[in-house]
A and B are shown apart, each in its own frame.
Chain A
Amino acid sequence: MSLLSAIFLLPLLAALVVLCIPRNYKFVIRLVTLGATVASMLLALTLFAKYNAAPVENGFKFVERHAWVSVSALKLDIGWHLGVDGINLGLIVMGAIVAFAAACVSREIKRLEKEYYTLLLVMTGGILGAFASLNLFFFYFFHELALVPTFIMIGVWGHGENRNYATFKITIYLSLGALIALAGLIALYIQSGANTFDIVDLTKAVKARPLPLAAQSLIFPLLLFGFGILVSLWPFHTWAPLGYGAAPTATAMLHAGVLKKFGLYGLLRVGIPLMPDGAAAWLEILAFLCLGNIVYCGLVAMRQKDLNLLIGNSSVAHMGFIFLGIASLSLVGVTGAVVVMVAHGFLAALTFGLSGALREKTGTLEMEKLGGLLRQIPFLGAALVMAMLAGCGLPGFANFVGEAMVLFGSWRAFPLVTTLATWGALIIGAVYMLRAVRNILHGPEKSEWAALKDASAWAKVPFVLLLAALLLLGVWPRLLTDKIQPSVATILTMANAKTADKAPRPSDVKKAVGEAKQRAVQPR
Chain B
Amino acid sequence: MNVGLEHYLTVSAMLFCLGLLGVILRRNVLVIYMSLELMLNAANLALVAFSRFNENLTGQMMVFFIITVAAAEVAVGLALIVALYRKRQSAHVEDLTSLKL
Are chains A and B touching in the complex at the 8 Å CB cutoff?
no
Please give the residue numbers on chain B whose beta carbons come within 8 Å of chain A beta carbons, in ascending order.
none
Interface residues of A (CB under 8 A from B): none
